[in-house]
Structure 1
Amino acid sequence: MIRHIVIWNLKDHAEGADKAANLQKAQTLLLSCAQVVPGIRAFEVATATPGMDCTNDLVLHMLLDDAQVLAAYQNHPQHLAIKPFMKAVVNERHCMDFTV
């Protein structure tokens, strides 16, 4: 199994909207990809909880059967379609994939 984690910090303003609006849109877009390929066992998207000491704005956590499922997800047209928006609103992105 592969665990795929992506963490983003968003710009204060981008694409004609503030960070809060872009966070909501990013979360909705990511969630729309939750079942685009077979082999995704867990798919979670979360934003920072107000009042908690957080250093990031948005996180994606996935558990996948194997590296082939991850590759299929990353190259799926629905996933590729959200990348331009994400690139436009994101200030910083970190990713880590590892075998579990």
Structure 2
Amino acid sequence: MKRELDVLVSQMYGSGMSYTDAVREFKRRYLLEVLARHRGNQCKAAEELGMHRNTLSRTLAELNMDSAEIRNGLKRPVRSERPRMQQPHPLALVR
């Protein structure tokens, strides 16, 4: 993992990304991952991160992140938007 991080940092630096932007992008990705694992639940995510829920909430606001949007993105699509599974022919099950 350290090697992957080294490569990523080199790419970010090489592309001219500022330190501030790099830290901001890291925070966004890291928080997104933790929130996704907790299905957008800020209380559980904050607990895992070792911070107060209000601190997480403020950090999300500073990063223009919306946990409700994250939560909604993880919900199962409504039935009409789900891909349809092809049903086997009824006689195909009879042997």
- TM-score range with shorter-chain normalisation? under 0.3
Determine which structure has the larger strand proportion and give its number.
Answer: 1
The TM-score, its normalising length taken from structure 1, stands at 0.26
Determine which structure has the larger helix proportion and give its number.
Answer: 2
The TM-score, its normalising length taken from structure 2, stands at 0.27
Structure of larger gyration radius: 2
Quick one: higher RCO (CA 8 Å, sep 6+), 1 or 2? 1
